[in-house]
Amino acid sequence: MHDDAATASPHELAAPPTADRRPISRTHHGHTVVDDYEWLRAKEDPEVLAHLEAENSWTQDQLAGLRPLRERIFTEIKDRTQETDLSVPTRLGDHWYYGRFTEGQQYPVHARVPVTDPDDWTPPALEPGEVPAGEQVLLDQNEAAAGHDFFSLGSFSVAPQGERLAYAVDTTGDERYTLRVRDLSTGADLADEVVGTFPGAVITPDGRYVFYPTVDEAWRPCTIWRHEVGTPVADDVQVFHEPDERFWVGVGLSRSQQYLHVELGSKMTSECWVLETTDPTGEFRPVWRRREGVEYTVEHAVLPGHGDALLVLHNDGAQNFELAVTDVPPRPAAGDAGAADALDPGAARVAVAHDPQVRLESVDAFADHVVLGVRRDATPRVAVVTLATLAPDAPWTPRELDFPEALYSAVPGETPEFAAPQVRVEYTSFVTPATVLDVDVATGERTVRRQQPVLGGYDPADYVQQREWATAEDGTRIPVSLVWKRDAVTLDSAGTGADPAPLLLYGYGAYEISVDPYFTVPRLSLLDRGVVFAVAHVRGGGEMGRAWYEGGRLEHKRNTFTDFVACAHHLVDAGWTTPQRMVADGGSAGGLLMGAVTNLAPEMFAGVLAGVPFVDALTSILDPSLPLTVVEWEEWGNPLADPEVYAYMRSYSPYENVPDDASHYPRILAVTSLHDTRVLYVEPAKWVARLRAAGAPALLKIEMSAGHGGVSGRYARWEEIAFEHAWTLDVLGLAQED
């Protein structure tokens, strides 16, 4: 392990860095704000960089005593992880594709082996550390990352017929990717190179064309281009451009390989255009024209008695979404140069009707069946429809797959081949390592293809998971999930805490993103030391369906914060923990949650861990030139145009509400990255400066060569986790016991 920022000795750091107060005022809707630390936004200013380096040095100095603990935790993670490992192969065309890790390497190698029997759908049994016969390496990320402090793969698209690979990499963390094309018959990159693309490029099945997105000045993917392999980039053709700044644009390929999709969406409205892959230079055609507040996605299917069709998952009059069947938009008549007409949504036939208790989240079509991702009772599940059993025009009856655990996550797994006769499922829980299984659609037989190895004798029976319910201010019941080591926590006869334990409470609560049960090796280092890990499933997420999300956005955003505080109170009242033994944790929009609850209820937590935190929300959302701002107005509201939205956001934005005296605040650690384009580093930098000026015990750790997801490479990531875990254990009073 190493600490990149540990550059100063203790005697050089007698006091924390102090950011100068350089007042800048802004006025909106008659309200003036004086911001003392906005000058920290000047990312290229040597004085700003020096301040950030000083913050890193101060943080490392203050936590220097935790270095041995960090090293132990890193070693625990490493020793429990099977470092030489590989994924379960997935079939596409004539090959099985997989990724493999090798001990000592930061990144995976992407490879494939030929299909030996077209009728055999059993993935080849590959052994970690052994190179299988016939293996072809498509991309070694370690080679591509050589010489770079940061590396991220943003596009990876194989042309099964054309023997080409389109891939894109970012080596700074700013999410600007360079797109390249590799000839898989030789392993050499072609001369084609496109700089400044957005992730998600796709190559046509014949390998002749690559479709890729680019961004505008506000980092919004807004344009789709067509590149013909072997031609100058200057000749690339713009095939789609979206001028509305609320909408992001992406491009995709149907599983059937028959259609290209251009998909665009704001937070609450979407639209999809399609084009046959046999006519890649043709014109994309709209499926349904966008209507404000209507979201939909499409999936190409071949249905008995119908032929080519589109499955449309939509929320038009269906809050939790329903599934409809419609035709493929017809091609314009020969010689017709006019714009293609979109289909009439009213002509679509309902296949799976709306259910207020079941959120339809995804649809995947195969030759013989359709797989649905559904959410019921705060649990993600998988359901299957066998096409051969469908009666003409009759409603579909999806068959849910059952699992024995009370808390779990089951989602459709990666299955790129349209002809696959089985359903791949990815299953996990707080105590069950990630498991990949295939379910035979015809027989229902289940075959476990892989379960994440946990070295060192891990036994799921040594750990316990449980769901509880807190009561929010307005009486809403909020799910709280807990997991702990069985012999480390004492329970009473009611099954709640009899002896308050140290506890880490995690939350997110935005964008309808759900924090579902999941297993992770690094968490064991906390559980084995007696820490209870809890998740507050607050409103703003999607755990309880679309209404749960609606209850925590726009004018209801404060519910997210008060729900989290209610969960903290519940855990204390039920005897699980005490405020002196509880740390709150969240990142990005969950970092906004951390800042808000620190202001709302500082007495409830001993520490707050905020990763890439969105803590200067009002300042950012007021500036439409910043990345993401305009597209975020549907999530938070538009404070530029609406004085009520401005006043509401001002009432909860963490940076705006740090009190003059914050000496009673819990210990705070903010972690961020210099090149983050989603939540700019300046937000936590300003927040920590203001907190510290108000007397709060706040620390800032900033990665100087990383983006929104933090450091790249698995070992670097383990070091980061070990750093945060050691800080958490120190706050909980467990560092000295180690």
Report the b/e string of 639-662 with b at 16+ CB within 10 A: bbeeeebbebbbebbbbbebeeeb
If you count DSSP H runs as helices and E runs as strands, how many of each does the chain have, helices first? 12, 39
176-185 long-range Cβ contacts below 8 angstroms, 24+ apart: 176/215, 177/152, 179/155, 179/210, 179/212, 181/210, 181/229, 182/138, 182/139, 184/136, 184/138, 184/158
The contacts of residue 575 (CB under 8 Å, 6+ apart) are 492, 496, 497, 498, 499, 500
Q: Which residue among the candidates 514, 588, 620, 712 is catalytic per the annotation?
A: 588
How far apart (Å, rounded) are the C-alpha atoms in residues 213 and 226? Answer: 9
Q: Which residue among the candidates 708, 712, 725, 730 is catalytic per the annotation?
A: 708
Of 190, 252, 191, the residue nearest 221 (C-alpha) = 252
How buried is residue 728: exposed, middle or buried, by Cβ count under 10 Å (0-12/13-18/19+)?
buried
409-415 long-range Cβ contacts below 8 angstroms, 24+ apart: 409/379, 409/380, 409/516, 409/517, 409/518, 410/379, 410/380, 410/381, 410/382, 411/373, 411/380, 411/382, 412/362, 412/364, 412/371, 412/372, 412/373, 412/382, 414/90, 415/90, 415/255, 415/364, 415/366
Q: Which residue among the candidates 192, 676, 712, 725 is catalytic per the annotation?
A: 676
* H or E element, residue 512: none
Helix (H, G, I), strand (E, B) or coil at 46: helix
Helix (H, G, I), strand (E, B) or coil at 270: strand
**In 335-489, where do the E strands start and end?**
349-352, 358-365, 369-376, 379-386, 399-400, 409-412, 422-428, 435-440, 446-451, 463-471, 477-485
Q: What is the DSSP string of 200-254?
A: --EE-TTSSEEEEEEE-TTS-EEEEEEEETTS-GGG-EEEEE---TT-EEEEEE-
| Residue 141, number of CB atoms within 10 A of its CB | 23
Catalytic residue status for 588: yes
How far apart (Å, rounded) are the C-alpha atoms in residues 313 and 44? Answer: 45
How buried is residue 425: exposed, middle or buried, by Cβ count under 10 Å (0-12/13-18/19+)?
buried
Q: What is the DSSP string of 523-583?
A: GHHHHTTTPEEEEE--BTBSTT-HHHHHTTSGGGTHHHHHHHHHHHHHHHHTTS--GGGEE
Q: What do you get for the CA distance between the two ends of the chain, in Å?
A: 18
Of 102, 105, 112, the residue nearest 82 (C-alpha) = 102
Catalytic residue status for 676: yes
The contacts of residue 421 (CB under 8 Å, 6+ apart) are 121, 368, 440, 441, 442
How far apart (Å, rounded) are the C-alpha atoms in residues 297 and 315? Answer: 10
Active site residues: 588, 676, 708
